[in-house]
Structure 1
Amino acid sequence: MDKQDYKIHIIGAGISGLIAATVLEQHGFSPVLIEATHRVGGRVKTDVINNYQLDRGFQVLLTAYPAAKKYLDYDSLQLQYFLPGASIFKNQKQVVIGNPLRDTSLLFSTLFANVGSFSDKIKILKLNTRLKNKTIDQIFSDKEQSTFSYLKALDFSESMINDFFKPFFSGIFLEDQLETSSRMFEFVYKMFGEGSAALPKGGIEEIPKQLLQKLENTTVTYDSAVSSVVDGKIILSNGQEIVSDFIIVATEASSLIKNLKNQTIDWQRCDTLYFETEDRAIQKPLIGLIPDQNTLINNIVYHTGLKTSVNGGKELLSVTVLNNKGLSGNTLVDQVQKELKEFCGITTCSFIKHYSIPKSLPKLSDLQYEISPSETRLTETIYLAGDVQLNGSLNAAMIAGEKAALGVIENLQGLFK
């Protein structure tokens, strides 16, 4: 039996599924991707509305991610880079803080910003150095604690935690108490230190589009929701049965596989609202933060502060809300516009679209960086991928997809010697 004759199916054409297909192709196999929607990308998608690029939730690519460097062609993505810092709206003023060692234009604003003490800024430089010298393996083998308790143990002031760390990392972890594992904090902080936060010129969906374009021997079946998976068989929602030699589940598996029913994953949720504005309240390509504990808004970003493939002619502003406090529809939009005016001085903004994202990031504990190929194996023919296997990141999605594909290949390698 030739490699191409093996029926290998991958459920879910998100980042993890696309990487699994990539690795299988590299080893001579011809997999089939089964995707529930009409296009690839999973949670990494971009819509064009009113000639603006709207990512489904504010997302960035951290260019230092090892797996991203391995599998993506950064040049063809035409990456646009954020500055290494943030613009903080506090007490009716806007102050910019950042890493002056990465960008000297941020030196004076950071030194004189009324965010944290001078001692805090020295501690940040020490943290930068410590994590630069700490390997990823060391980070993920360290004892876990919450990010909040980690920062307290480093003796950062309450002001520094509340005005910078909480709003900035809450926007990354999509939870506002910094309960996320200190392993994730150290990993993400290290990645920010070693690379840049960037967006493809065409929006975040250019990443899965590029992975799809590179596939040559993979079949993609769209609009095919899966209802259940058993050894050797996939049952679609329409009742169709697909016989398979190997199945990689690159989406949340608990609803598909009988013996995983009690292992349902909890998720962080968020809302992202897009507005068109006349001008930009933040002039540099920086993420805007509102550290007030009582606001709906966590962060604001002017996507048109970077070069985009399409542009509706004015400015595109995204607003991320972590806890909508039960507000929805026009009530949520009105409250967000009120806060934009009060805290950021943004008076003219017309609403474009609201994305309610119930599954933004998986809530996980005992976070891991990677997994061995054999550990992805659930049964004789079923393998698990997706960032839910490791940690909530694009990097983890790629690694999990790679390892699941290698698990299948290891199972078969004795037949091809």
Structure 2
Amino acid sequence: MNGDSVVVAGAGLAGLVAARRLADAGAEVTVFERRATVGGRVRTETHDGFTLDRGFQVLFTAYPAVRRELDLGALDLRYFRPGAVIARPGSRSVLSDPLRDPRAALASLRNDEVTTTDKLRTLLFRQHVGSRTEAEIFRSTDRSIQSFLREWGFSESYIEHFVAPFYGGITLDRSLSTSKRVFEYTFKALSEGAIAVPATGMGAIPEQLATAAREAGASIQLSEGVESVADHDDGVTVETASTTKEADAVVVATDPKEAQRLTDIGAIPTDARGCVTQSYRLPESAAPTTRRKLLLNAKDPSPNTVVPISEVAPEYAPGSEALFVATFLGDAALERNASALAEETRLTLEAWYPGRDFADLEPVRTHRIEFAQFDQPPGIHEGLPDHRAPGGRTYLAGDYTAWSSIQGAMRSGREAAQAVVRDL
């Protein structure tokens, strides 16, 4: 590809992976990003000494694309312990993976929220997904997570009290109407690896990818969004607010709605799953501990989860303070007053920890994320667009060509770059 020029529209995970891969192949690569920072939906900010990710996000270390594209050691990861704490008023119980967290095995065995049959079926299901690849899972006959679990014989109690809040946090869909393929593959990833956050926040992931792209020779232009793309016989014309650039090819790696606008590809999914995450400070001396596990709301959907994030990554909070993050699902949460959300979290924690006072729980930041993922009902993956869907010299890179996840985004960036290299 020596001498070929490629524009990448968007500096999210997919765009940054594509840029590095193309630059490694010898292309002259220019990335245009409308924001002042890289990362797309994966971003981190600091506020009053706290490290705040935009939405509660974690890294699944077992994802093949994560292992391929990232230097995990350099990210200085902080790890969650497997499993979660199932919480309801006056009651908290631990459910964990005894194979990966032996110290929690006894507590998990004593957990009466989940039947012994459910625990045995979980081990069988782990063997089932362990033998299947990502491609095999996403080609399998599809149905909803809820229907799939019932077919496997899991109890309604297990589905409602553990799977709904836990996978509600992963798919942003507590009703479990999402494709069972997402459940299968993320369950496989959880069984084979860990979940973690970088010590400096999830934003360290795109920053590392951007550094790698620049070192490979790519130029990244921030605060410079692509306005239009025109494909012609021998290349493309890319217009930004301030410049016109002729190139041999363009990779559109923007968010789904913008990608649809730039390419006119109707198959790009734009139906969204949204959420609100609210971060709170609390004196460390008053903060409950969960041994680095999530708190799942088994009784109510709001908040769906509460995460003691500074217990996992102490660097997220300054001095003697603790940082908690609550997640609220759905469009209704996006419209709610921040004070009302904070009061709901406070009352929920006081119900889970009787006799403890959470009056000092203070909101730090509220993130309202209208498009956190694209909606993934059963059967959606067959209709997602290919990297070459626009035709000519225009290509697509984004999780909307695979499935909504960090794995889908990074894999898509690599495959889009491979398509460009083959064609040019």
Match of 1:40 in 2: 38
- Equivalent residue number for residue 328 of structure 1: 337
Distance 2:398 2:131 in 1: 29
Instruction: Tell me the equivalent position of 1:282.
Output: 289
**What residue ranges of structure 2 are gaps of 5+ in the alignment?**
none
- 330, 339, 358: which one pairs with 2:348? 339
Instruction: Work out the CA distance in 2 between the residues paired with 1:349 and 1:62.
Output: 29
Change over 3 Å in CA distance of 1:331–1:382 after alignment to 2: same
Q: CA deviation at 1:239?
A: 6.3
State which drifts further: 310-319 or 54-63. 310-319
Q: 2:308 aligns with which of 288, 299, 302?
A: 302
Question: 5 Å matches for 1:139-150?
Answer: 139-150=137-148
Q: Distance in 2 between matches of 1:397 and 1:262?
A: 17
What does 1:39-188 align with in structure 2 at a 5 Å threshold? Answer: 39-188=37-186
Residue 354 (structure 1) aligned with residue 361 (structure 2): no
Deviation, 1:235, is 2.5
Partner of 1:401: 413
CA separation in 2, counterparts of 1:83 and 1:389?
31
The CA deviation at 1:291 is 1.4
Q: Tell me the SS of whatever aligns to 2:264.
A: helix
Report the CA distance shift for 1:78/1:173 in structure 2 as closer, same or farther (over 3 A): same
- Does 2:384 align with 1:386? no
Partners of 1:112 and 1:318 lie apart in 2 by: 28
- By how many angstroms is 1:48 displaced? 1.1
2: CA distance, partners of 1:264 / 1:233: 25
Larger mean Cα displacement after TM superposition, 310-319 or 226-235: 226-235
SS of the residue corresponding to residue 67 of structure 2 reads helix
Report sequence identity in percent. Answer: 29
Relative to 1, partners in 2 of residues 1:310 and 1:125: Cα closer, same or farther, differing over 3 Å?
closer
Give the letter aligned to residue 317 of structure 1: F
Letter in 2 for 1:405: A
Distance 1:262 1:358 in 2: 20
1:8 aligns with 2:6: yes
Shift, 1:228, TM fit: 2.4
State the distance in 2 between where 1:39 and 1:336 align.
Answer: 31
**3-state SS of 1:379 partner:** coil
Shift, 1:368, TM fit:
5.0
Partner Cα separation in structure 2 for residue 263 and residue 133 of structure 1:
31
CA contact (8 A) 1:227 1:256 kept: no
Contact 2:387/2:397 (8 A) holds in 1: no
Amino acid at match of 1:119: T
Look up the match of 1:243: 246
Q: CA RMSD in A?
A: 2.1
More deviation in 134-143 or 338-347?
338-347
> Does structure 1 residue 272 correspond to structure 2 residue 277?
yes
Report the residue type matching 2:364 in the other structure. Answer: I
What TM-score do the two structures reach when normalised by structure 2?
0.91
Per mean C-alpha deviation after superposition, the further-off stretch among 241-250 and 33-42 is 241-250
Code of the aligned partner of 2:226: V
SS in 2 for 1:77: coil
> Could you tell me how far apart the structure 2 residues matched to 1:35 and 1:274 are?
27
Rounded Cα–Cα distance in structure 2 between residues aligned with 1:102 and 1:146: 28
* CA 92–58 in structure 1, closer or farther in 2 if over 3 Å, else same: same
1:233 corresponds, among 226, 232, 237, to: 237
C-alpha spacing 1:171/1:395, structure 2 compared with 1 (3 Å): same
Q: Is the 8 A contact 1:297 1:320 kept in 2?
A: yes
Deviations 1:320-359 (A, max 9, x none): 1003454123233333333333335561311100000001
1:311 corresponding residue in structure 2: 317
Counterparts of 2:76 and 2:203, CA distance in 1: 13
Partner-residue secondary structure (3-state), 1:13: coil
How much does 1:265 deviate? 1.1
The SS at the match of 2:120 is helix
Stretch of structure 1 that moved more, 238-247 or 225-234: 238-247
Q: In the superposition, relative to structure 1, how do residues 262 and 203 fare at CA in structure 2: closer, same or farther (>3 Å)?
A: closer
Contact persistence 2:144–2:180 (CA under 8 A)? yes
- Structure 1 residues 367 and 26, CA, compared in 2 at 3 Å: closer, same or farther? farther
Structure 1: state its 5+ residue gaps: 413-417
Partner letter of residue 72 of structure 1?
Answer: L
After TM superposition, give the deviation of residue 367 of structure 1 in Å.
5.4
Check the 8 A contact 2:252/2:259 in 1, yes or no: no
Runs of 4+ in 1 over 4 A off after TM superposition: 261-264
